[in-house]
Amino acid sequence: MTDSSAHDKIPDVYFFILILAGLWCLAIIAAPILSHLHYKASSGLIYYFFSDLCHQMPQRSISIFNKQLAVCSRCTGLYFGFLAGLISYPVFNPLRKAEVPHKLFLVISGIPISLDIALQLMGIWHNTEISRFITGFILGHTTAWYTIPGLCMIKWNKIFGSFYNEVEKLN
Amino acid sequence: MNSKPDKLVPAVIGGAIIGVLSGIPVINFINCFCCAGVILGGFFSVYFYEKNLVDTRLTYEDGVLLGLLAGIIGLVIATILEQIIGINPADFMQQAMQYAEDIPPEAQDFIRGLQENQGSLFILDIAIGLVTNIIFGIIGGVLGVAILGKKK
């Protein structure tokens, strides 16, 4: 794939990742809605899928129809923040330039969530659903700005070729 | 002509980190923070790869490939570790449901249904692990390049 054709693929790659992230966030909300509509098996599958990624404690989760979302409020903030970051990135930065912010911003974005957790553990502060969601949202949003430029600039056909070569080495 | 170093060894190291953080009980709770263990493994695979680079630059293709390989290798290692430690997914879920009333009832019903067929539960666990390890391994790899890569 030439560089010009790789650049042509950037919007496709971006929208593919955006749709994937959208479906991920949709699944988080869909779990309680499906349960409310009595689609227990589908709802159960979604909850089970996210059980490896989150503690799913109901007292620390946002609820819809008296049913908790598929992940806790902090994880909900992280994933929705990531989605928001994907949406906001091209508004402020052309995708074809693939500019990554200074590393300092990633460190700074991790401070609120670290403080929220640390102060809770030390008994100084009792975090709330809102604080967990917002601190997760900030980190998720910032993480998207560090990952989307790279993901869009990658020559994906080169990846699959290299992956095949690496797997061949194992045989 | 600059040739890039082999990616397999750093990917195996990253995969080992993922495998240990995912396969050992109690330690694997780190993955409850949005698969932080898998992201760390992807990140460290890029870290160790970057150490071997001499006259070439780290690229995002390197990060994705390293994260992808580390995620898959990590899943294999975690599965082997669970078998060695003797973790039976069905028994583990049974105990978890006894002590953790927090699991949503829909998930409990789903798990009970699967426990009757342990093979299905194992295959489902592998499938979910593959999806999550690949996604978060790649994220870890890309973050590794973004943080460790040198700007032009």
DSSP string, B15-78: HHHHHHHHHSTTGGGGGGTTSHHHHHHHHHHHHHHHHH-SSS---HHHHHHHHHHHHHHHHHHH
Whose structure tokens read 């496709």? A12
Residue A171 has pLDDT above 80, yes or no: no
Minimum Cα–Cα distance from B36: chain A residue = A53
Residue A44 vs residues A1, A60, A70, B97: alpha-carbon distances, Å: 43, 19, 10, 14
Q: Are B32 and B22 in contact (CB under 8 A)?
A: no
Nearest to B142 by CA among B66, B57, B51, B56: B66
Residue B97 vs residues A137, B105, B135: alpha-carbon distances, Å: 30, 10, 28
Minimum Cα–Cα distance from B34: chain A residue = A53
Share of chain B above pLDDT 70, in %: 77
Query: Which pLDDT does position B115 carry in this prediction?
Result: 65
> Which residues of chain B make contact with A68, given a CB cutoff of 8 A?
104
Q: Which residues pair with A68 in a beta bridge?
A: A63
Higher pLDDT, B112 or B61: B61
Query: Which pLDDT does position B136 carry in this prediction?
Result: 92
Q: CA of B146 to nearest chain A CA: how many angstroms apart?
A: 6
Long-range interactions of A162-171: CB distance < 8 A, separation 24+: A162/B7, A162/B61, A162/B65, A163/B65, A163/B68, A163/B69, A166/B7, A166/B8, A166/B11, A166/B65, A166/B69, A169/B8, A170/B8
Mutate to test the interface with A, among B4, B58, B106 (most CBs of A within 10 A): B106
Q: CA of A135 to nearest chain B CA: how many angstroms apart?
A: 13
Of B104, B124, B132, the CB nearest to A53: B132
Minimum Cα–Cα distance from A101: chain B residue = B146
- The answer to whether the Cβ–Cβ distance between A150 and B106 falls below 8 Å is no
Query: Which pLDDT does position B54 carry in this prediction?
Result: 80
- The answer to whether the Cβ–Cβ distance between A35 and B106 falls below 8 Å is yes
| Mean pLDDT, rounded, for A21-29 | 95
Residue B151 has pLDDT above 60, yes or no: no
Query: Whole-model pTM?
Result: 0.82
pLDDT, tens digit, 9 for 90 and up, residues B120-148? 778 888 898 999 999 999 999 988 988 88
Q: Does B144 touch chain A (CB under 8 A)?
A: no
Distance between CA B146 and CA B63 in Å, rounded?
9
Q: State chain A's maximal CA–CA distance in angstroms.
A: 57
Minimum Cα–Cα distance from B9: chain A residue = A166
Of A51, A79, A158, the CB nearest to B107: A51
Of B33, B69, B104, the CB nearest to A68: B104
Query: Which pLDDT does position A28 carry in this prediction?
Result: 94
Q: Which residues contact A21 (CB under 8 A, 6 or more apart)?
A: A79, A82, A83, A86
Of B65, B69, B103, the CB nearest to A56: B103
CB burial of residue A5 (10 Å; 0-12, 13-18, 19+): exposed
Minimum Cα–Cα distance from A48: chain B residue = B107
ipTM reported for the complex surpasses 0.85: no
Strand A67-68 to A63-64 pairing? antiparallel
Size of interface A-B (CB pairs under 8 A): 111
Of A48, A147, A151, the CB nearest to B107: A48
Q: Does A153 touch chain B (CB under 8 A)?
A: yes
Number of neighbours of residue B10 by Cβ within 10 angstroms: 23
Higher pLDDT, B108 or A90: A90
pLDDT, tens digit, 9 for 90 and up, residues A70-114? 999 999 999 999 999 999 998 888 777 777 888 888 889 989 998
Distance between CA B36 and CA B75 in Å, rounded?
14
Query: Which pLDDT does position B152 carry in this prediction?
Result: 47
| Mean pLDDT, rounded, for A5-24 | 80
- For residue A72, the surrounding DSSP H or E stretch is none
